[in-house]
Amino acid sequence: MTLYHFGNCLALVYVPYYLTYKYSGLSEYGAFWKCNQAGGIYIFTQLVKMLVLATFFPTADNVGEEGFDIFGEFLKSSIDLADLVGILLVLNSIPGKGHAKVLSAGIGWAAAEVLLTRFLLLWVGARGAEFDWKYIQKSLESNINLVQHITTATLVWLWSRHDLRRGLVPIVVGMLVLTVYRPLMLDFLSSLLLAGPWSTLIIKAITTFFIGATTLHIYAGLAHSIGIF
């Protein structure tokens, strides 16, 4: 039974990534190594972030005694701006059309994250003696993160374009900032409303959907205007 639960969680996490890669057309472009390159830059970016966090935000014994430290968490979340720089490096290093670059960067980045943060968690936890819904929640969250990373890669690509309408630039920048600080806002909202894990997951899915839909609308308009459809 535990092995069956582990297999279900593993399929729920990784099958959507495989299907996205296969049916997005990336396999026809031979983008496998480009996705690996994005994963390598992801690993390097996370190492830099860990070094900065360990240097400037050392863990203290009294953390958490005074409740939610919004300012300290804001500073820690600001380090996630490095992810945007890393995705920009990935996009600049991948030749090809806009949609291929965006998908390669987004899927490669998301796949590296899910391999490093989910497999060991499922291997140790989902194979345990008792069933726990939190592993299903983590698996579903990985699918939400896939959409979010592709959306973030698209926003970074839009920001780097010189032919994006000036009126849309503040919207793109605002959504980029929102993607960086969204985990902090969700944590603060969850602690304020005492929301459970399922409620938090639903809120995250809804916000990801609206950010993704808005980004897709802007991308489709730009792609139509420059003729890359």
Residue 95 structural domain? 1-60+67-226
In this prediction, residue 12 has a pLDDT band, given cuts at 50, 70 and 90, of: confident
Confidence tier at 229 by pLDDT (50, 70, 90): low
Domain total of the chain: 1
- In the chain, % of residues over pLDDT 90: 44
Give the pLDDT mean for 188-209.
Answer: 85
What is the model's pLDDT at position 61? 45
- CA 103/CA 109 separation, integer angstroms: 10
Tokens linked to 116: 């490093």
pLDDT exceeds 50 at position 85: yes
Tens-digit pLDDT profile for residues 100-152: 889 999 999 999 999 998 877 777 766 665 667 788 888 899 999 999 999 99
pLDDT at 225: 82
pLDDT at 62: 46
pTM as predicted: 0.89
